């Protein structure tokens, strides 16, 4: 199996906000893919670097220009996305696992592939090394930048916000992490990017009940239409995990997973939003029935004690 550490750079609209294109909300259009390939023993094998010419966000956002130090001419000199992503997946090989710094790259990659009508099953489960770094090195729940992580480890720094340089830096940090620790790695998996959006809330809550009543948790901006959507009731799936459904005015249905984690005497929350499929709708109905059955059993038990 190949271990693929990759990074993306993307351009945004002039306003810095995404927009809906062909029924896909595009937060950023990929303009560079950089990656490092490691073999099964984590030895360096190869690197990959390609510029992508955007089709929709063709005017270079000023902030993107400042961060990446590229010109609009350079940006537009790349290959079409479909050609570049095809080269990338061929380079990855037949069997691989992805590693990124944070979940955003997977999210943006999925958006861009769906926009171009490409099969997203090539996006494998991905280990978020930023999260794994926080778990194993920082021993907290923070989101340290890649540059700060490199400085923290006193490693050589590369010019940041070049996709290949950032992939190189991420691979350097990865060497300090225990990838054999299955529990920690499992905590750091971000999935295949098929979710629509993922949010980690910085606020510390006094209770799980306070989490589900926070309007920041209960509402989100739809990645499909850009409109504000409110979640329905949350039902418990298992300890620390709740689910809900939501609907927007355009007729789209969403399946929301809410994870609540206790940290000392406080609670932290993260939310993942999916396009609701028939399978997820059936799952949601079963979870509701399970919750109702638990309420009935509790009520029967209380009534028995009162008799």
Region of residue 137 (left: phi > 0; alpha: psi -120 to 50; beta: else):
alpha
Contacts of 265 (CB under 8 A, 6+ apart): none
Nearest alpha-carbon partner for 211 in 272, 270, 292, 257: 270
Residues β-bridged to residue 46: 37
* pLDDT at residue 44, as a whole number: 94
Helix (H) or strand (E) holding 66: helix 62-68
In terms of residues, how long is the chain? 307
* pLDDT at residue 90, as a whole number: 97
CB burial of residue 278 (10 Å; 0-12, 13-18, 19+): exposed
d(CA 29, CA 11): 5
Strand 197-200 with 29-38, pairing: unpaired
Q: Spell out the per-residue pLDDT of the chain, length 307, in tens.
A: 999 999 999 998 877 667 778 777 788 999 999 999 999 999 999 999 999 999 999 999 999 999 899 999 999 999 999 999 999 999 999 999 999 998 889 889 988 998 999 988 888 889 999 999 999 999 887 789 999 999 999 998 778 789 999 999 999 999 999 999 999 998 888 766 666 777 878 899 999 999 999 999 999 988 777 789 999 999 999 889 999 999 999 888 999 999 998 888 999 998 888 888 888 899 999 999 999 998 888 876 666 555 5
* Domain architecture of the chain: domains with CATH: 2-187 (3.30.420.10), 197-298 (3.30.530)
d(CA 70, CA 8): 14
- Helix (H, G, I), strand (E, B), or coil: what is residue 41? coil
* pLDDT at residue 56, as a whole number: 94
CA angle 154, 156, 160 (to 5 degrees): 110
Q: What is the DSSP letter of 193?
A: S
* pLDDT at residue 17, as a whole number: 66
Q: pTM of the entire structure?
A: 0.71
The three state secondary structure string of 203-221 is CCECCHHHHHCCHHHHEEE
Region of residue 135 (left: phi > 0; alpha: psi -120 to 50; beta: else):
alpha
* pLDDT at residue 19, as a whole number: 76
* pLDDT at residue 125, as a whole number: 80
Angle between helices 81-92 and 104-115 (to 10 degrees): 120
What is 108-138 written as a DSSP string? HHHHHHHHTT--GGGS--EEEHHHHHIIIII
* pLDDT at residue 231, as a whole number: 95
Buried b (16+ CB within 10 A) or exposed e, 168-184: bbbbbbbeebebeeeeb
Summarize the chain as % helix, strand, coil (round to 5): 35, 30, 35
* pLDDT at residue 186, as a whole number: 87
Nearest alpha-carbon partner for 64 in 120, 16, 136: 16
């Amino acid at each position: 199996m190949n271990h693929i550490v990759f990074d993306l750079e993307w351009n945004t609209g002039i306003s810095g906000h995404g927009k809906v294109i062909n029924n896909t909300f595009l937060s950023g259009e990929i303009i560079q893919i950089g990656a490092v390939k490691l073999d099964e023993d984590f030895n360096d094998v190869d690197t990959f670097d390609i510029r992508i010419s955007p089709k929709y966000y063709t005017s270079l956002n000023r902030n993107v220009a400042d961060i990446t130090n590229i010109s609009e001419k350079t940006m537009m000199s790349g290959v079409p996305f479909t050609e570049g992503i095809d080269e990338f997946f061929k380079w990855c090989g037949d069997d691989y696992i992805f590693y990124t710094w944070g979940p955003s790259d997977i999210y943006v990659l999925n958006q861009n592939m769906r926009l171009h009508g490409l099969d997203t099953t090539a996006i494998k489960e991905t280990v978020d090394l930023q999260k794994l770094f926080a778990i194993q090195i920082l021993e907290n729940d923070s989101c340290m930048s890649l540059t700060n992580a490199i400085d923290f480890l006193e490693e050589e720094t590369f010019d940041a916000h070049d996709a290949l340089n950032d992939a190189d830096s991420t691979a350097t940090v990865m060497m300090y992490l225990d990838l054999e620790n299955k529990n920690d790695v499992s905590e750091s998996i971000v999935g295949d990017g098929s979710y629509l959006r993922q949010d980690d809330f910085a606020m510390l809550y006094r209770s799980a009940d306070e989490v589900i009543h926070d309007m920041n948790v209960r509402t989100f901006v739809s990645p499909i239409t850009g409109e504000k959507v409110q979640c329905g009731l949350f039902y418990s799936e298992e300890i620390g995990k709740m689910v809900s459904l939501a609907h927007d005015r355009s007729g789209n249905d969403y399946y929301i997973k809410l994870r609540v984690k206790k940290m000392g005497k406080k609670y932290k929350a993260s939310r993942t939003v999916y396009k609701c499929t028939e399978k997820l709708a059936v799952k949601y109905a079963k979870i509701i029935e399970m919750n109702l059955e638990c309420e009935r059993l509790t009520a029967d038990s209380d009534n028995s004690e009162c008799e």
